[in-house]
Amino acid sequence: MGSPGPYGTALRAQSQGMSRFLHTGHHEALLPAQVADQPFSLRVWIEMSDLVPLLKRLDERFGESGQPYCTKLERVPEAQGVLLEMIAELLRAQPQKVRRACVPVSVADRLLADFGIGRIDAYPAYPPPIDQVDLDPADLAVHLRTLLLGRPILL
């Protein structure tokens, strides 16, 4: 086989860069949770390296012939829901995977009173119109199994 030429070399470099991008940084998700029978959205960040295996599982379930990923628009909402369930399942099994977590102020107050989950000031404060505070991930990790809603998924 001959040399890939400048175009092939550029494509290979670009795809390797994208792969590196996909495996670094954080992924943010809003997960359904509940405290004292009150539902709320738990905003969490996990490492992309923890997300990639979930995406591969998602591709196995929703991929189509000749395509490793979902191309039928009517199935996208279902795939997105399954991905959120996978993230919740990962965090129930390995709660230390949470890198950052945020909730509304009233929920943070309730979590502190009921579970001792404190706030942290590691990030700049949100402006008042954004009703949100950061939680201590170590405090939260102890209680994630109790707080996260959902059902286990089997693939």
Percent above pLDDT 90 for the chain:
56
**How sure is the predictor about 155, in pLDDT bands with cuts at 50, 70 and 90?**
very low
Residue 89 burial (CB < 10 Å; 0-12/13-18/19+)? middle
Average pLDDT over the chain, rounded to whole?
84
Query: Mapping DSSP to helix (H, G, I), strand (E, B) and coil, where does residue 4 land?
Result: coil
Res 16 pLDDT > 90: no
In the chain, the amino acid numbered 24 is T
Q: Are 153 and 86 in contact (CB under 8 A)?
A: yes
Query: Mapping DSSP to helix (H, G, I), strand (E, B) and coil, where does residue 120 land?
Result: coil
**What is the per-residue pLDDT across 92-139, written as a single tens digit (0 to 9) for each?**
999 999 999 999 999 999 999 999 999 999 888 889 899 999 999 999
**What is the per-residue pLDDT across 37-60, written as a single tens digit (0 to 9) for each?**
899 999 999 999 999 899 888 888
Segment holding 101, helix H or strand E: strand 100-103
d(CA 32, CA 147): 9
| Residue for token pair 């495996």 | 23
Q: What is the DSSP letter of 124?
A: P
